[in-house]
Amino acid sequence: MYNVKNITNDLYWVGANDRRLALFEGVYDIPTGVSYNSYLLMDEKTVLLDTVDKAVAHQFFENIEHVLNGKKLDYLIINHMEPDHCAELQNLINKYPEIKIVCNAKIQTMINQFFDLSFPQEQYIIVKEGDTLQTGKHTLQFALAPMVHWPEVMVTYDTTDKILFSADAFGSFGAIDGNIFADEVDFDHRYMDEARRYYTNIVGKYGPQVQMLLKKAANMDIQMICPLHGYVWRKNLNIFIDKYQKWSTYEPEIKSVLIPYASVYGNTQNAAEILAGELANLGVKDIKMYDTSVTHPSYIVSDAFKYSHIVFASTTYNMGIFVSMENLLHDMNAHNIQNRKIAIIENGSWAAASGNLMTEIVSKWKNTEIIGNRLTLKSSLKTDQREDLKNLAKEIAATF
């Protein structure tokens, strides 16, 4: 049965939720699900903005049919060609063969990569930066947003109702629980962490490209943001735009210390716990610790974008960095993390090697400084080293 939501008088959300997907993109667990947003504009011409993942196709087609109520579907605008928004393209064309596809040239190339379509060229409207589409009352304008999150991405701005259809930008993990607007839920409490985890892991690498999009957006009068995942923003847009500003410039949100540790028998953990306590004694608030063997890197990457300081504590394993920590560090590297202050704790029962290896990785990060005296444990923390940990805490706190 259809399940649509009114966004404005003539704009409808016709997307759907997936609450059973184990891993988004085969990588990220999504305990609160994910929504695939598609929007249907019922102007003189009818316009579908993006489609959905194949997992929710049934719901999606029922939704479109209900809103169209017998009207013809005139246009499909494709802002992003990733299959979580395009997997149903062939089926959509089969159902609405007269539809015109509005996209840019890169998107058209990708359509032909993903599908074996015999779709006539005259049914394509290929757009460039700044081009517009008149649909009756509404004028839709297109702006390219390459690498937010793929090279073909564009966004669509409804100049009539001042709505930005932002593709993956301003999206979030988490299904839509009845409400459709971010101001109708306790977004900060319930969704901001997942919005950060979504941004940092999906688009975090492409900060400069997100900055380009934010600059374009600054020249638009935006009253509403309709992303491809998560809630629609119509109030306090600056809250989310400010977050994007920070995330895309790798500026920490808080001055505090994140401590991911890798510990086989608990001795490296012991040092990390004591350090965290000493930092707390110095007045540092909201310290966060993660066991890298327990928590998926996507959560730690996300907090790495939030915290100003990171202490990596790892035992040595096979003369290298412990596997879960090594994985995390490479993941952070891949997400372009930078502009942080880093301290290192290593452990090794016969030859501690993890400290140098971790330093080698993090010292390549832009605007990143290694602070404090590295602490080296030989199997376990010894009484005389407790003072060293206290001093390391002081050295870290001194850089706040």
Q: Which residues bind ligand FEO (CB under 6 A)?
A: 80, 82, 84-85, 149-150, 168, 228-229
In the complex, the smallest distance separating the C-beta of residue 35 from ligand FEO, rounded to whole angstroms, is 10
Q: Which is nearer to ligand FEO, 111 or 276 (CB)?
A: 111
Q: Which is nearer to ligand FEO, 4 or 228 (CB)?
A: 228
Q: Which is nearer to ligand FEO, 151 or 277 (CB)?
A: 151
DSSP 181: B
In the complex, the smallest distance separating the C-beta of residue 132 from ligand FEO, rounded to whole angstroms, is 25
Q: Which is nearer to ligand FEO, 82 or 158 (CB)?
A: 82
Q: Which is nearer to ligand FEO, 37 or 315 (CB)?
A: 37
Q: Which is nearer to ligand FEO, 18 or 168 (CB)?
A: 168
In the complex, the smallest distance separating the C-beta of residue 175 from ligand FEO, rounded to whole angstroms, is 14
Q: How many CA atoms lie within 13 A of 172 on its CB side?
A: 27
Q: Are strands 320-321 and 288-291 parallel, antiparallel or unpaired?
A: unpaired
CA distance 162 to 29: 34
DSSP 54: G
Q: Which is nearer to ligand FEO, 85 or 306 (CB)?
A: 85
In the complex, the smallest distance separating the C-beta of residue 332 from ligand FEO, rounded to whole angstroms, is 20
In the complex, the smallest distance separating the C-beta of residue 59 from ligand FEO, rounded to whole angstroms, is 17
Contact, 276 vs 228, CB < 8 A? no
Helix (H, G, I), strand (E, B) or coil at 174: strand
Helix (H, G, I), strand (E, B) or coil at 215: helix
Using alpha carbons only, give the angle 115, 39, 176 rounded to the nearest 5 degrees: 105
How deeply is 300 buried, as exposed, middle or buried, from its count of CB atoms within 10 A (0-12, 13-18, 19+)?
Answer: buried
SS3 for 333-357 is HHCCCCCCEEEEEEECCCCCCHHHH
Contact, 163 vs 217, CB < 8 A? no
In the complex, the smallest distance separating the C-beta of residue 10 from ligand FEO, rounded to whole angstroms, is 25
For the chain, give the number of residues: 400
Q: Which is nearer to ligand FEO, 86 or 222 (CB)?
A: 86
Contact, 206 vs 149, CB < 8 A? yes
In the complex, the smallest distance separating the C-beta of residue 168 from ligand FEO, rounded to whole angstroms, is 4
Q: Provide the phi-psi class of 25: left if phi over 0, else alpha when psi is between -120 and 50, else beta.
A: left
In the complex, the smallest distance separating the C-beta of residue 64 from ligand FEO, rounded to whole angstroms, is 19
Tokens of residue 289, six digits: 């610790």
DSSP 232: B
